[in-house]
């Protein structure tokens, strides 16, 4: 029997899949990784975009029911090779996010952990753009990956 993923994991994986596809179609050589630390791996070269689901806020959908609404906070860290590239990547990503993207239900097919199946099931929308700011930590870091950094934080819902 196939093992289906929860909504939280589906949201994260759907966002990763969407950004990976969009970046691959318009940019060359941009690596997308799933966690912040992986962006610093020696075998990952710039430019890098790191995407991770950071927080979940849960609230009642309406009074009188037990249904809940989840808001997911997604952090997108951009590590560019120049200031111009940083700004271009930010604009590109924001433009891709504004209209929403497909929500997929992911599952492991029976007997296999190596591959993932996915089925489209609605849409993910951006509830709010929380932060869109340059990260300036040159006084602490001399690492080449920290030189042209930018962070976008968004809140999404299914």
Partner 1 sequence: MAEFEFTINKGKDTIEEFIQKLRLREDEFEQELKIATKDAALYMRNYINRRKKRKGEREQGERGLGEALSKRMTVERYGDRISVGFGEIAYLKIHHSYWRVLNDGGMIAPRTMGFFGNRQAPSGRQRNQVFHYNPKGLNKDGTPYGKGTSFLLYPKKPARPIRYISATRRYLSSRVNKLVKQLTTRFK
Residues in contact with partner 1 by the rule CB under 8 A: 36-37, 39-40, 54-55, 57, 73, 75, 77, 128, 130-131, 135-137, 140-143, 145-146, 149, 151, 153, 155
Least Å from the CB of residue 77 to partner 1: 8
Query: Residue 107 or 151: which CB sits closer to partner 1?
Result: 151
Calpha distance 53→50 (Å, rounded): 10
Are 145 and 116 contacting, i.e. CB atoms less than 8 angstroms apart? no
Least Å from the CB of residue 104 to partner 1: 26
Query: Residue 50 or 105: which CB sits closer to partner 1?
Result: 50
Query: Residue 94 or 153: which CB sits closer to partner 1?
Result: 153
Phi, psi of 137 (to 5 degrees): -125, 30
Are 88 and 95 contacting, i.e. CB atoms less than 8 angstroms apart? no
Least Å from the CB of residue 136 to partner 1: 8
The one-character DSSP state at 100 is -
CB-count burial class (<10 Å; 0-12, 13-18, 19+) for 22: middle
Are 156 and 72 contacting, i.e. CB atoms less than 8 angstroms apart? yes
Least Å from the CB of residue 40 to partner 1: 5
Strands 101-108 and 31-33: unpaired
Query: Residue 91 or 143: which CB sits closer to partner 1?
Result: 143
Residue with the two structure tokens 């993207």: 101
Least Å from the CB of residue 155 to partner 1: 7
Query: Residue 105 or 152: which CB sits closer to partner 1?
Result: 152
């Amino acid at each position: 029997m196939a093992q289906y993923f929860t909504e939280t994991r589906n949201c994260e994986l759907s966002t990763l899949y969407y950004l990976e596809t969009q970046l691959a179609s318009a940019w060359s050589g941009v690596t997308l990784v799933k966690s912040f630390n992986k962006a610093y791996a020696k075998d990952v070269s710039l430019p890098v975009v790191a995407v991770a689901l950071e927080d979940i806020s849960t609230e009642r959908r309406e009074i009188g029911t037990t249904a809940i609404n989840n808001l997911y906070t997604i952090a997108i860290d951009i590590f560019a090779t120049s200031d111009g590239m940083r700004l271009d990547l930010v604009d590109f990503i924001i433009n891709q996010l504004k209209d929403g993207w497909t929500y997929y239900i992911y599952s492991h097919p029976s007997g296999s952990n190596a591959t993932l199946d996915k089925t489209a099931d609605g849409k993910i929308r951006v509830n709010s753009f929380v932060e869109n700011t340059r990260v300036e930590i040159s006084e602490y870091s001399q690492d080449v990956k920290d030189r042209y950094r930018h962070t976008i934080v968004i809140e999404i819902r299914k």
